Amino acid sequence: MRIEPLIEEDVLRARVRALADELWRDYADAPLTVVCLLEGARRFTDDLLRHLQARGLRPARLDVRARRTEGQALGPVTIEHFAPEQLEDREVLVVDDLADEGVTLQGVLDIAALGEPRTLRVCVLLDKASRRTQEIPLDYVGFPIEDVWVIGYGMDVDGEYRELDWIGALRDDRF
């Protein structure tokens, strides 16, 4: 197994700041609720919110555990700790680390829509469009990427590599 750098730390930080600028322009006067998909998007969401708070925007935050992977295996979508009624009449931004097939994101969007938010948008750090099987709207995208297993900046494989300050592509026969 080897790790190839995919997105260096300084490039990553600059893009997250730029995304926060876009979000601030779009939501400066809105009752924004950010829905963070745990665990992978926690660090990305924390950094986005830190930049927004520095500009005076203090969105509400909901952490939702939504996943489809166990190690490297894909399974059914599981969503925990999500009460869509908290989204009623609010501007809602779902934040995820990676848009892959879109199955997990679509599941979260379906549940979020039940809360009848004013708007429902999606912000992802990485977009792996070549694997998309669901039509999902991606309103804010950090980086388009190729079909590789990514680690770092909150993303992991078997609980490892989340702490990296950059994003790498894991090269291994399993991926």
CA-to-CA distance for 114 and 75, rounded, in angstroms? Answer: 24
Instruction: Report whether the peptide linkage leading into residue 88 is cis, meaning its omega lies within 30 degrees of zero.
Output: no
- The predicted pLDDT at position 173 comes to 64
Q: Domains in the chain: how many in total?
A: 1
Q: Is residue 174 part of a domain?
A: no
On whether residue 108 sits in a domain, the answer given is yes
The pLDDT, as a whole number, for residue 79 is 85
**What is the mean pLDDT for each group of 10 consecutive residues in the chain (175 residues)?**
93 98 94 93 97 95 80 69 90 96 92 96 97 94 96 91 95 67
Q: Of these residues, 100, 147, 172, 173, which one is catalytic?
A: 100
Three-state DSSP class for residue 60? strand
**Which strands sit side by side in the sheet containing 119-127, from one edge to the other?**
73-80, 60-70, 32-38, 91-99, 119-127, 140-144
User: Is residue 165 domain-resident?
Assistant: no
Indicate whether 12 belongs to any domain.
Answer: yes
The question of whether 10 is a catalytic residue gets the answer: no
Structure tokens at 102: 């879109």
In a domain, 77, yes or no: yes
**Domain of 122, in residue numbers:** 7-146
CATH of the domain at 12: 3.40.50.2020
Does residue 86 belong to any structural domain of this protein?
yes
Q: Assess if residue 162 is contained within a domain.
A: no
Residue 153 counted as domain residue: no
Query: What would the two tokens of residue 49 be?
Result: 């919110």
